[in-house]
């Protein structure tokens, strides 16, 4: 087991549009077929909402407003010591479309798609509490530390 490192903080967007949740591939090249909410690591000196608006635009080409936090999720890799804290916010779509020509400048996101709650049962996604956070009550959820998916 590797020595634990300082946890990375990331902001993620829960964007419901026509009762469908926007998800992106979790790894470059859609490795593992795992989906997650768009967002990413936070830059020091920039607010969580500012980070999130930037990340969502980079990954999807969409413009959003950032609302209330609804989920805190932690995951880690015991082998490498990687530990991330994801803060999920309820967000509203302001503009843009999911153009097939969009390219993530980081090269991570290659797939983006809106999923219905029923379709969520047919895909792999993280964290496990994602549907409850997106379609559930306004009360914030805490999803305790889980082992990273490899």
**Run of H or E including 15:** strand 8-17
Are the C-beta atoms of 19 and 56 separated by less than 8 Å? no
**Tens of pLDDT along 54-111?**
999 999 999 999 998 999 999 888 888 889 999 999 999 999 889 888 888 888 898 9
pLDDT at 100: 87
* Mean residue pLDDT across the chain: 88
Domains of the chain listed by start with CATH number: 8-147 (3.90.79.10)
Q: How confident is the model at residue 142 (pLDDT cuts 50, 70, 90)?
A: low
pLDDT at 127 over 80: yes
pLDDT at 91: 97
- C-alpha distances (whole Å) from 141 to each of 47, 54, 105, 132, 134 are 21, 24, 31, 9, 11
Say what the pTM is: 0.87
61 burial class (0-12, 13-18, 19+ CB within 10 angstroms)?
middle
The tokens for 129 are 């509490």
Quote the CA–CA distance of 100 and 90 in Å, as a whole number.
25
């Amino acid at each position: 087991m590797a020595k634990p490192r300082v946890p990375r903080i990331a902001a993620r967007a829960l964007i419901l549009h026509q009762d469908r949740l926007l998800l992106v591939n979790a790894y470059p090249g859609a490795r593992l077929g795992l989906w997650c909410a768009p967002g990413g690591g936070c830059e020091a000196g920039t607010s969580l909402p500012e980070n999130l608006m930037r990340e969502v635009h980079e990954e999807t080409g969409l413009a959003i407003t950032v609302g209330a936090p609804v989920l805190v999720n932690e995951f880690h890799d015991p082998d490498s010591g990687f530990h991330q804290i994801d803060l999920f916010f309820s967000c509203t779509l302001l503009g843009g479309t999911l153009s097939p020509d969009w390219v993530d400048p980081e090269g991570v996101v290659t797939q983006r798609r809106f999923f219905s709650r029923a379709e969520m049962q047919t895909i792999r996604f993280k964290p496990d509490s994602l549907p409850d956070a997106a379609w559930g009550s306004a009360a914030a959820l805490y999803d305790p530390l889980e082992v990273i998916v490899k």
